[in-house]
Structure 1
Amino acid sequence: MLKIVPDPPSSNPSPHHLEDTLIQAAEYVRCALIVAHQSVLVSHPHSLGATLALTAVHEMETVRALLDSALAQVQIPGEPQTRH
């Protein structure tokens, strides 16, 4: 029997799952950047389309930097705890 309603996400997601999600999101942004760069190359340099594509490139580069920062934070090993 098929479930109609999916299970809710766990309240404490695995950091490895979050890391995988961030990596996948970064790959999608990288692909979108390539497409946007190519659209600028094939359009007239001063056209509205080229301007919009360059704006999209700027925004995606910012998102990529945020994703890289988040990924670095996830990959930092936890601080060692001292025993008393």
Structure 2
Amino acid sequence: MAIWIRSQDKTNLIECKTIDVLNRFNEFHVVANYIDFGEAENYNDLGQYSSKRKQTKVLDMIQKHVETYSNKVYQMPQDNEVEV
């Protein structure tokens, strides 16, 4: 089952192949791996968080969303909406 995720800034709606984390310069990102129209793999930043704990919490939230099959689209939360 594919999951569609709308980016934190609401500018992208992506059918995700995988969801990964990227930690760089004390910035904690959740990124999507997806296939574009030319069948090439790409990555897109879905959201940025102020801590690794928040980043992990968001991954937990996505996992719960997938497990419950509530629907096929997940909206990335803003940093201030994630409580750890």
Structure with the larger helix share: 1
Query: Normalization by structure 1: what TM-score?
Result: 0.32
Structure with the larger strand share: 2
Query: Normalization by structure 2: what TM-score?
Result: 0.32
Larger Cα-atom Rg: 1
Structure number with the bigger relative contact order (C-alpha 8 A, sep ≥ 6) is 1
